[in-house]
Amino acid sequence: NAGVTQTPKFQVLKTGQSMTLQCAQDMNHEYMSWYRQDPGMGLRLIHYSVGAGITDQGEVPNGYNVSRSTTEDFPLRLLSAAPSQTSVYFCASSYGASSGNTIYFGEGSWLTVV
Amino acid sequence: KNEVEQSPQNLTAQEGEFITINCSYSVGISALHWLQQHPGGGIVSLFMLSSGKKKHGRLIATINIQEKHSSLHITASHPRDSAVYICAVNLLGGSQGNLIFGKGTKLSVKP
């Protein structure tokens, strides 16, 4: 049981490049989400999904795109990378979208945009 | 004003000490989570609670809904407990998309 798997672990991008952070979970969880973690700040929600085919914006969605074609996968796309998107990204999932469900996190993806 | 405040921001302890990390929040909540983030980055859920107290090994989490306060206690601390501990709350009436995170407490336990 792998839990939540994120790839890549580390990535360096040039300004303007695009890339996709992959996230997969094998727990049949309905709810999946992407967060970014910046120094001195709490985790901030980028996008989330309550099931296949359903996505919504979080607190900081600009510059990012998501889709959820299957229950297992929830990729995060950076459309045109900017230095402000240098951050650590975490994918998370939980059994249901309602509050009170245990949250499972991936190992994180360190992204640097130069 | 941050809706979730943790204290202290940094904490250094000697091995064996009893440790308390505090979390205060200013909003109505349906659940509170304590998370652990180790050097290297992975985040693990320690507790989820909406009332009372939970215990797992040397870790104890308590919550007082009326006072809008939660504490995470570590008994007989060990260097492997060194990590960042994060408090997060689910807004009342909200979903997992309404999680608000504290900035974390960095704990260092010296041998």
CA A33 – CA A53 distance, rounded (Å) = 14
Candidates A11, A43, A98, A111, partner chain B, best to mutate (most B CBs within 10 A):
A43
**Per-residue pLDDT of chain B in tens (111 residues, 90 and over written 9):** 578 999 999 999 999 999 999 999 998 898 999 999 998 878 999 999 999 999 999 999 999 999 999 999 999 999 999 999 999 998 877 666 678 899 999 999 999
CA A107 – CA B43 distance, rounded (Å) = 7
- The burial class, CB within 10 Å (0-12 / 13-18 / 19+), for B47 is buried
Q: What is the largest CA-CA distance in chain B?
A: 44
CA A22 – CA B1 distance, rounded (Å) = 34
CB B18, CB B33: distance < 8 Å: no
CA A102 – CA B47 distance, rounded (Å) = 8
The Cβ of residue A19 has, within 10 Å, a number of other Cβ atoms equal to: 14
In this prediction, residue B92 carries a pLDDT of 79
- Residue of A71, A101, A76, A103 lying closest to A88 (CA atoms): A76
| DSSP letter for each residue of chain B | --SEEEE-SEEEEETT--EEEEEEE-S-EEEEEEEEE-TT--EEEEEEESSEEEEETTEEEEEETTTTEEEEEESS--GGG-EEEEEEEEETT-BGGGEEE---EEEEEE-
| CB contact B43 to A (< 8 Å) | yes
In this prediction, residue A98 carries a pLDDT of 67
Place of tokens 């940094």: B10
Is residue A12 predicted with pLDDT exceeding 80?
yes
In this prediction, residue B97 carries a pLDDT of 66
pLDDT tens digits, A28-75? 999 999 999 998 888 999 999 999 999 999 999 999 999 999 999 999
In this prediction, residue B101 carries a pLDDT of 92
Nearest CA in chain A to B92: A99
pLDDT tens digits, A65-113? 999 999 999 999 999 999 999 999 999 999 876 667 889 999 999 999 9
Select from A40, A45, A92 the Cβ nearest to the Cβ of B103: A40
Select from A41, A103, A105 the Cβ nearest to the Cβ of B42: A105
